[in-house]
Structure 1
Amino acid sequence: MIAGVSTEFIPPGPEDFNLPPIWASIPWLTKPVLVATLSVIIIVWFFWGASRKSAIVPSKLQFAGELGYNFVRNSIARDAIGSQEHMKYVPYLCGLFFFILLNNVAASVPLIQFPTFSHIGWAYAAAVMSWLIFNTVGIRKHGFGGYLKLQTMPAGVPAWLMPLMIPIEFISNILVRPVSLSLRLFANMFAGHILILVFVLGGEYMLFETGNIALGGVGVITFLVAIPIAGLELFVQCIQAYIFVVLTAQYIGSAIADEH
């Protein structure tokens, strides 16, 4: 206990992410569900409005929609999958990118301030959906046996190494990918949000609840430090949406490739 402190500071932890229902009568309607629903509505409205009255000279909304769509199509899908087959996967990748982006950025929006993917179940759901897609398209193209061979038997590896390589490649390419996808997204959203909570709640505690002038000054500094951390967290929120979708596109590309 610090001298002069009136009450003990309880640091934030995982329990702070277990939010109660918004209405007690609807137990499933939590803030993550509401944020995810709103993000879907915003995405549908945005792209519907951007494409509804397309013109050679685009409006601001059309320009923004085309900019976002072209970014996913050219910088993610085409580069990772290839120019021959990437277009059929652009709708999924585009929707996935903006869904993750909006739910991540929600952590920096006043009155919401909660990243949906800091709940591991949401990250698992997104990763499993991508896992099903890239495995399905690989099996459809190569057949079940051909796809397993492609994913577990690297070209150029000597036959005597195959008994060792096959289980390693199977675990790496088939089993681990959805786990790594989900944990990377979840861990970044969880850690970033809890870091901001530590600085904000710690600053508030030292400034208003300790009754100590020296600690009050430290509390002001803590609040100020929280501002650049929040800016860094906003960058991480955006980059994690990009990384998740880039990896998904790369996995689709490797699934439909003829040889690794």
Structure 2
Amino acid sequence: MSTVATNLLLAASGDDGGFHPPSIAEFFPAGFLFEGTPFEINRIILVRIVAAVVLIAVFVIAARKAKLVPGRGQNVAEMMLDFVRVNIAEETLGHNARRFLPMLTTIFFAVLAFNITGVIPFLNIASTSLIGMPIVLALWVYVMYLAVGIKKFGVGGYLKNNLFPPGMPKVLYVLVTPIEALQVFVFRPATLALRLTANMIAGHLILVLCFGATHFFLFSAGGALKAMSALSLTAGVAFTLFEILVAALQAYIFTLLSAVYLNMAVEEEH
């Protein structure tokens, strides 16, 4: 039911009542505050603000009410924190896990919160479905893995470790080094942002398509076509559950890859 609000707006727009497939225009809503300025606020910005406020409030409340014997809510929060610490940070970074744990925990819960808004009624769009937020998070990872690598090895040592893989015939560096340079300085941050955005865009379009079709079949189609609304509604509910899984999975993948890149920046050889 996360796209009900969108469908009601379409139905009330005064058009011919036909079926309207989702389009990319949904990810570029009109601003309603500070229009035409760098501080313009539109629907997606508002969803991001709501997600951030709720996320901060949840952890502030959990921290203030923390007990030696945790309750149900505290237990869930601690399980999720332990998941990031053990299954991502420690397994990937080893002895460096503690150093990067605050960053990785922030990234995981931020991406999860911004993703899950796609299935929240009346928000019904993932905050990460517009590439600005994924770019900000990817740039944070990019700057960090460059900074920690250069700090440990120096500029020359960092470039040598990353652009000249050991054990390879020197003549092949002519081919390998440009590819490694693109991977280190372009592909890693770009794919982090693009992977997350593409998955959230696809999920939103599928949900709007299913629930938009349900609205059309139920209220606009005639005869036996009305029965198709049950099929499209079932598909919509199934994809909603799947989108919740994707939201969590993308948060895990983004954080895991961030940990992998940080580990590659500080280890001796790749």
TM-score (norm 1): 0.90
* Counterpart pick for 2:63 among 51, 54, 59: 51
**Structure 2 counterpart of 1:11:** 21
Cα shift at 1:42: 2.7
Q: Which amino acid letter does the alignment assign opposite residue 68 of structure 2?
A: I
Judged with a 3 Å threshold, the aligned counterparts in structure 2 of structure 1 residues 64 and 8 are, in CA distance, closer, same or farther, namely closer
Q: Does 1:255 align with 2:265?
A: yes
* Counterpart pick for 1:90 among 93, 97, 101: 101
**Structure 1 counterpart of 2:11:** none
**Structure 1 counterpart of 2:202:** 191
SS at the partner of 1:85? helix
Q: CA RMSD in A?
A: 1.7
Judged with a 3 Å threshold, the aligned counterparts in structure 2 of structure 1 residues 62 and 202 are, in CA distance, closer, same or farther, namely closer
* Counterpart pick for 2:34 among 8, 22, 26: 26
**Structure 2 counterpart of 1:207:** 218
Q: Which amino acid letter does the alignment assign opposite residue 73 of structure 1?
A: R
Aligned length: 251
**Structure 2 counterpart of 1:3:** none
Rounded to whole Å, the distance in 2 between the matches of 1:48 and 1:25 is 29
- Conservation of the 8 A alpha-carbon contact between 1:46 and 1:65: no
Cα shift at 1:253: 0.5
Rounded to whole Å, the distance in 1 between the matches of 2:199 and 2:185 is 23
- Conservation of the 8 A alpha-carbon contact between 1:119 and 1:186: yes
- Conservation of the 8 A alpha-carbon contact between 1:13 and 1:194: yes
SS at the partner of 2:251? helix
* Counterpart pick for 1:237 among 247, 259, 262: 247
- Conservation of the 8 A alpha-carbon contact between 2:20 and 2:212: no
Rounded to whole Å, the distance in 1 between the matches of 2:149 and 2:192 is 18
**Structure 2 counterpart of 1:62:** 74
Q: Does 1:112 align with 2:123?
A: yes
Rounded to whole Å, the distance in 2 between the matches of 1:179 and 1:213 is 49
SS at the partner of 1:11? coil
Cα shift at 1:8: 4.1
Cα shift at 1:222: 1.1
Q: Does 1:177 align with 2:188?
A: yes
**Structure 2 counterpart of 1:141:** 152
**Structure 2 counterpart of 1:224:** 234
Q: Does 1:150 align with 2:161?
A: yes
Which segments of 5 or more consecutive residues in structure 1 lack a partner in the other structure? 1-5
Rounded to whole Å, the distance in 2 between the matches of 1:117 and 1:258 is 34
Cα shift at 1:238: 0.8
Moved more, 42-51 or 96-105: 42-51
Identity of aligned residues (%): 31
Judged with a 3 Å threshold, the aligned counterparts in structure 2 of structure 1 residues 15 and 164 are, in CA distance, closer, same or farther, namely same
**Structure 1 counterpart of 2:13:** none
**Structure 2 counterpart of 1:38:** 50
Rounded to whole Å, the distance in 1 between the matches of 2:67 and 2:132 is 41
Rounded to whole Å, the distance in 1 between the matches of 2:77 and 2:233 is 36
Deviations 1:115-150 (A, max 9, x none): 011101222121111111111111111111111111
TM-score (norm 2): 0.87
